[in-house]
Amino acid sequence: MASNPQASQLLGQREASDASNSSIPPRKMPTGKLYSIGDIHVGFADNKVAWSRLTPHPGDGLILCGDVGDSAEQMRLAFSRATECFDTVWWCPGNHELYTLPDKSGTTGVRGEQKYQECVDVAREYNVLNPEDDFVVWEGEGGPAVIAPIFTLYDYSFRPDDVSLEGAVPWAREKDTEATDEFLLHPDPHPSRQDWCKVLVQKFETKLEAARARFPLLPLVIANHWPLREDLVTLKFIPRFSLWCGTKLTDDWHRRFNAKVVISGHLHIRRTDWKDGCRFEEVSLGYPRQWKKCAEMGLGVNELLREILPGPEIPKTEEVPTQWRVYG
């Protein structure tokens, strides 16, 4: 595989900067495989124990696709183990990292954009690459490719055509469905979550366009907690939860930005789809009850890590059915 001098220089500059601060864990240029997992929710005791059993992957990289925990303390626990086991770790935020929760004294913390920045600061404590960092070129197996962690949120557009924006949440409540986000995820300083989503979409649209211009011959690996397409949201038991699962503004991003793989979490339903030659991977672990059958079979986080690169070969047929990956 050919080396990319521009990419090596980019990561090399980061490594030199990191080395100047001995308190930050070192990061190496991975030469092996790229894995991903999301929604590890280490605030749950069973998930915390499972994450503590993550095994070393020297030479490999890992993308944490959001919802690692509900607090800075839980994020540190997740990042600490991840960076011990993988040469390079990426992270993009989920809704749970953005929750504003009261502390033991009952005092609530920062909200909205400030809460997101707090999460970014925690990631940087552990040298974890995040949406605010420069995109890095992967030169390990299955590369070269640009690794692009992003953050888009949602705007309630994953709803039927006959349901208005104003009527969307009441429509979901008709079936006893309402995301905790409505109470704990604040959009400050934006007037609404959908307004914040619009700003984020514009921000990362610009960043992805710049990456395509800088590396015109390289495919992208886009990682976002929320699915980029509505047709990837299949929620058999809570279909109206789709409101909190993404935005239609990103529907064609896999084509526009030459994505090789798009990774997401959030749904807690592991699946693989192919759209226009692009592989879509939902990589959630989920709450303990949602991977209980896996645990009973002796399958933990190590077995449920999803190989992103090199990954499976591109199917030779145009129509490929969804692969429901219950056990990995």
Extract the tokens encoding 320.
Answer: 């490929």
DSSP 30-63: --S-EEEEB---TTSHHHHHHHHTPPPEEEEEEE
Count of residues in the chain: 328
Confidence of residue 7 (pLDDT cuts 50, 70, 90): very low
For residues 61 and 170, give the distance between their C-alpha atoms in angstroms, rounded to a whole number: 42
Residue 308: C-alpha distances to residues 8, 112, 135, 161, 281 (Å): 21, 31, 17, 34, 8
Extract the tokens encoding 278.
Answer: 């692009």
Interval 115-132 mean pLDDT: 98
Confidence of residue 17 (pLDDT cuts 50, 70, 90): very low
pLDDT value, residue 25: 65
Extract the tokens encoding 205.
Answer: 């649209």
Contacts of 196 (CB under 8 A, 6+ apart): 112, 113, 153, 187, 190
- The pTM is what? 0.92
pLDDT value, residue 28: 76
pLDDT tops 90 at residue 26: no
Interval 122-137 mean pLDDT: 97
pLDDT value, residue 319: 78
Identify the helix (H) or strand (E) that includes residue 198: helix 193-214
- What stretches of 99-181 adopt beta strand conformation (E)? 136-138, 145-149
Q: Which residue has the higher pLDDT, 104 or 22?
A: 104
Interval 288-294 mean pLDDT: 97
SS3 275: strand
End-to-end alpha-carbon separation of the chain, Å? Answer: 28
User: pLDDT by residue (tens digit) across 87-115?
Assistant: 999 999 999 999 999 877 666 789 999 99
Q: What is the overall mean pLDDT for the chain?
A: 92
For residues 67 and 69, give the distance between their C-alpha atoms in angstroms, rounded to a whole number: 5
Extract the tokens encoding 156.
Answer: 């309630």
- Whether the CB-CB separation of 38 and 67 falls below 8 Å is answered with yes
SS3 138: strand
Name the DSSP letter for residue 227.
Answer: -
User: pLDDT by residue (tens digit) across 218-245?
Assistant: 999 999 999 999 999 999 999 999 999 9
pLDDT tops 50 at residue 1: no
Other beta carbons less than 10 A from residue 180's beta carbon: 12
The candidate with the shortest Cα–Cα distance to 310, out of 35, 3, 8, 29, is 35
User: pLDDT by residue (tens digit) across 245-278?
Assistant: 999 999 999 999 999 999 999 999 999 999 999 9
Confidence of residue 11 (pLDDT cuts 50, 70, 90): very low
Q: In a 10 Å sphere around its CB, with 0-12 CB exposed, 13-18 middle and 19+ buried, how is residue 126 labelled? A: buried
32-324, which class in CATH?
alpha beta
pLDDT tops 70 at residue 19: no
For residues 297 and 302, give the distance between their C-alpha atoms in angstroms, rounded to a whole number: 13
Number of H helices, E strands in the chain: 10, 11
For residues 45 and 49, give the distance between their C-alpha atoms in angstroms, rounded to a whole number: 6
pLDDT value, residue 108: 75
pLDDT tops 50 at residue 311: yes
Confidence of residue 37 (pLDDT cuts 50, 70, 90): very high
pLDDT tops 70 at residue 20: no
Other beta carbons less than 10 A from residue 287's beta carbon: 15
The candidate with the shortest Cα–Cα distance to 304, out of 39, 6, 24, 23, is 39
pLDDT tops 90 at residue 12: no
Residue ranges of the domains in the chain?
32-324
